[in-house]
Amino acid sequence: MKVSKWSENLFGTPIFDPVVTASFMFPLLYLVAFLIIPVLTMLAVAFEYNGHFSFHWFTSILTSNYYISKPTGEFYRLITMPNGEQIYYVQGVDFGVIINSLLVSISVMILTTILGTVFAFVMARYDFPGKNIVRILLFVPLLVTPFVNVFIVKKMFLPNGLINWLFFDILHIFPHRIVIDGLVGVIIAQTMTYYPIVYLNAYASFINIDPTLEEQAENLGSSSFHLFRTVTFPLALPGIAAGATLVGIFSLEDLAAPIVFQGNALARKLMSFQIYSAFTSGFNVGSPQLAALALIMLTIAILMFLGIRKYVSLRQYAMLSKGGRWKPRVAKPKGWQAILIYLVVLPMLLISIFPQVGVVLLAFSESWSGTWPQGFTTAHIQSIITQPDIERVIMNSVMYSTAAIIVILLLSLTASYASSRFKKSKLGPVLDSLSTIPIAVPGIVIAMSYFFFFAKVFPDTPLDPTNLLGFNPAMILVLAYSIRRLPFAARSISAGIQQVHVSLEEAALNLGAGRWKALTGILMPLILLNLLGGAMLSFVYCMSETSVGITLGSINPEYYPITARMVELMTSAVGSANLAAALGVFLMTVQIIAIVLANVITKQRYSFIGLT
């Protein structure tokens, strides 16, 4: 036998091996078939006009006032209420759909960065009475309750909502009551939903800074804010920037906030909502102009993603330090620091967890029209088990999610095994990029491209979304869930594989085992905890996935996943928001159980990145 150059080039092992080959080819083919080709199908639609290749749909978007315009409207207005009281009504300015989306995304990035970095710095560097309670409270905003938490945010900013009660009625800080709506409403809601992502990244970055680097700076005479500005913050910046970019992408693709605020015309003028509303209105879905819009959205997200990858890889300071764990630098806050922590940071935290608290209150209340909900009832919670339509959507979601995690585990295990063990492979980098790129593919873009792909390739079958009531979204949802979740699951499994020294597998090979035995008998048992943790967090993610669930998943009521029913409840008659909140409580319970289990089993601090 001779070494084969092509096997070494393709799969990084000079001797052809079926297990290695399969580990590369399964995730590669899967991603090509269910990510690349569907997007290309959409691409083909967007670039076709009258049977020819054309930029027509793009130029028609980019030249239209609807999509890009000069700022119109006033950022805020002073409105006189029927009772004669004046209130500020803040909604933002219209720059056209594309610019609006970008501005919202950038604003959310900035706000979440400030909020997340401040919380992280306080938690990483200060020791103060009540810190442990704060640590637990910080987990609350991570809980995902699609739509309902945004609904609560909206309520908080109504004239009689919590914010105005607190800052106008009690503290008299606001000159007038402030109501937020439109783009500003979307920005505030997304900030409150996504700041934990920056918080987690920033916290990890602060904790990972070698204390001697700060001590040396202090030793040379730096202190306080100067130290933070010149050493601590620059060292943590790559991590913070990565978190912020993730938030920017999530903001771009977010549907929950625009849907909840859609009563305001400005909130509807966002790219994600434009595509979504085509799905709900039924006609116009297959429009090539929307395909073009989806591609513009995809391009923006991917550029943001590639930008941050380049930036972070250029500045991997964290990796430079000597490794090893150290005791992080923690200090007792002094004077003004303590005042800031107790009077600014903690109240901000309490406000930021109110949406999740509000979801629970809403689920257990009879009505909620004033500042606080009225009347305690368990009726909504009971409907989860008694109402057949609710029971059905839960069963559907459980089925889709269970199927999806099997696929996700297979995909992420093979992909991470291939790319972390066979580094000489020329396919490795391709597989790496392909399996991380779904981070940058908005869910609504996946929904859109699946629409074109399955309608074209499987016409008049249950896989064809234009088949309406003949359409069964089960397989499509499982595909979408698995593709969307892959980057996150693969990352946690890669981390596990990297902790297992390669010599453990080599020792098995050397003693006579084949690749299959070394993989299943040595590597998999050793990363079992990572696999279990990954499975549980993926399950949670799939249960609350929004974008694809409320578009392709909401065509046929019989096959609704939970989120499809939730969005229906949120947008229909008064009172059904309580039932949506009950579903939100159900999802939170599932998440808490999964996170606690994952933490107990893996003895690691896992947190669930709240994205849908």
Partner 1 sequence: MVDVKLENIVKTFGETVALKGIDLHIKAGELFTLLGPSGCGKSTTLRIIAGLDFPDSGTIYFGDEEVTYLPSSKRGAVLVFQNYALWPHMTVFDNVAYGLKLKKLSKDEIRKKVEWALELVKLKGFEDRYPTQLSGGQQQRVAIARALVVEPKVLLLDEPLSNLDAKLRLEMRSEIRRIQRELGITVIYVTHDQEEAMAISDRIAVMNVGTVEQVGTPKEIYESPRTEFVASFMGKTNVIPARVVERNGDRVSVEFEGIRLDGLHYTDKSDDVVIVIRPERIQLKPVENAVSFTGTVDLIEYYGFFIEVVGLFGDTRIIARTISDREVAGLRPLQEVTFYVERDDIIILPRQQL
* Residue 169 near partner 1 by CB under 8 A: no
* Residue 15 near partner 1 by CB under 8 A: yes
* Residue 221 near partner 1 by CB under 8 A: no
By the 10 Å C-beta count (0-12 exposed, 13-18 middle, 19+ buried), 129 is classed as exposed
Q: Are 553 and 561 in contact (CB under 8 A)?
A: yes
The single residue among 32, 320, 339, 507 that binds partner 1, judged by CB under 8 A, is: 507
Q: How far apart are CA 125 and CA 77, in angstroms?
A: 42
Show the binding pattern over residues 127-146: x = contacts partner 1 (CB under 8 A), - = does not: --------------------
H-helix or E-strand spanning residue 516: helix 515-517
Q: Report the residue number, 284 or 498, with the smaller CB distance to partner 1.
A: 498
Q: Report the residue number, 106 or 532, with the smaller CB distance to partner 1.
A: 532
Q: How far apart are CA 79 and CA 100, in angstroms?
A: 24
Q: Report the residue number, 1 or 171, with the smaller CB distance to partner 1.
A: 1
* Residue 357 near partner 1 by CB under 8 A: no
**Residue in the structure block whose two tokens are 């979801």:** 359
Tell me the H-state helices in 376-501: 379-386, 388-421, 427-436, 443-457, 474-499
Query: Would you give the distance in Å from CA 479 to the centre of its chain?
Result: 18
Which residues, 6 or more positions from 86, have their beta carbon under 8 angstroms from its beta carbon? 78, 79, 80, 176
* Residue 513 near partner 1 by CB under 8 A: yes
H-helix or E-strand spanning residue 55: none
Show the binding pattern over residues 520-539: x = contacts partner 1 (CB under 8 A), - = does not: --x--xx-------------
What sign does the dihedral 482-487-489-490 (CA atoms) show?
positive
Nearest distance from C-beta of residue 108 to partner 1, angstroms: 43
| Distances, alpha carbon 356 to alpha carbons 140, 193, 581, in Å | 7, 10, 10
Structure tokens of 553? 């998943």
* Residue 503 near partner 1 by CB under 8 A: yes
Q: Report the residue number, 77 or 424, with the smaller CB distance to partner 1.
A: 424
**Residue in the structure block whose two tokens are 């990029």:** 433
Q: How far apart are CA 436 and CA 449, in angstroms?
A: 18
Which residues, 6 or more positions from 216, have their beta carbon under 8 angstroms from its beta carbon? none
Site for partner 1 in 482-501 (CB under 8 A): 501
Q: Are 145 and 587 in contact (CB under 8 A)?
A: yes
How many chain residues are in contact with partner 1, going by CB under 8 A? 21
The single residue among 61, 241, 508, 598 that binds partner 1, judged by CB under 8 A, is: 508
Nearest distance from C-beta of residue 314 to partner 1, angstroms: 22
Nearest distance from C-beta of residue 506 to partner 1, angstroms: 5
H-helix or E-strand spanning residue 48: strand 48-49
The single residue among 517, 532, 576, 592 that binds partner 1, judged by CB under 8 A, is: 517
Structure tokens of 18? 């079926």
* Residue 509 near partner 1 by CB under 8 A: yes
Show the binding pattern over residues 590-609: x = contacts partner 1 (CB under 8 A), - = does not: --------------------
Structure tokens of 233? 């913050």
Q: Report the residue number, 52 or 603, with the smaller CB distance to partner 1.
A: 603
Q: Report the residue number, 97 or 508, with the smaller CB distance to partner 1.
A: 508
**Residue in the structure block whose two tokens are 């090979």:** 509
Nearest distance from C-beta of residue 424 to partner 1, angstroms: 9
* Residue 510 near partner 1 by CB under 8 A: yes
* Residue 18 near partner 1 by CB under 8 A: no
Nearest distance from C-beta of residue 436 to partner 1, angstroms: 24
Nearest distance from C-beta of residue 523 to partner 1, angstroms: 10
Binding range to partner 1, per CB under 8 A, among 48-56, 262-270, 320-328, 518-526 = 518-526
**Residue in the structure block whose two tokens are 């966002």:** 270
Which residues, 6 or more positions from 516, have their beta carbon under 8 angstroms from its beta carbon? 19
The single residue among 1, 171, 173, 574 that binds partner 1, judged by CB under 8 A, is: 1
* Residue 506 near partner 1 by CB under 8 A: yes
State the CB neighbour count (10 A cutoff) for residue 470. Answer: 12
Nearest distance from C-beta of residue 124 to partner 1, angstroms: 31
Judged by the rule CB under 8 A, the positions of this chain that interact with partner 1 are: 1-3, 14-15, 501, 503-504, 506-514, 517, 522, 525-526
